Structure 1
């Protein structure tokens, strides 16, 4: 089984209430090879929601409590992001997931690159909170930009 960000399967769960549907991901679902998650919804956040970004670090530093996730209005939503990552990990373990395809640049799902916390569309190096937790537990994290070479 492959864990996949639900927004990549056409589920309207992104912060803006939309999705980023990818045809190849639909195929994985139809073949019974995928389990869908939205870590931000699993963490208790609504859809749509105010955009969020990690300040002063990345997902790993959020998990270590040295950085935090804020929405554009300044509300600290770190606990929701950590809870969503933990719930996603539980699902991954239940299904024996070894790979995940997550949404690029997301404060939850971003792999290697996330927005820098300035809400200016500036990208910095680092993982989102869920991506960092999954990697910590040995799950290969991919995103919609690179998954084709591994599937």
Structure 2
């Protein structure tokens, strides 16, 4: 009946690195088996093709994240006992599901950095995407560490 709690540390960096590789593989799977097939049917121009791929990847990621987040919120009891969110604050230790969620979020957004190179993003688009990635990383890392 006792719940194991986890703290952040240097070993998280190795875990994040591992999940970056998993995110790259999942990115390629979504691209190959879903987005490329839809692209072939739509006959989009090169610019629209690139935008469609970026949007498609983000839709897949955000939809998965939303479902996973709702699952964590329900199974950790934050819906049935919302007071647990602020009782005994600051929460130095995290349940496994919450920690794993944060690490996977960080891994996804860190995987987006080499993807800018692999996807051959246009030079005009790079600053916008870097700003977006940096903001996501900043907010997720701050929430995880604080």
TM-score, length of structure 2 as denominator length: 0.30
Larger relative contact order (Cα-Cα within 8 Å, sequence gap ≥ 6) = 2
Q: Which structure shows the higher strand fraction?
A: 1
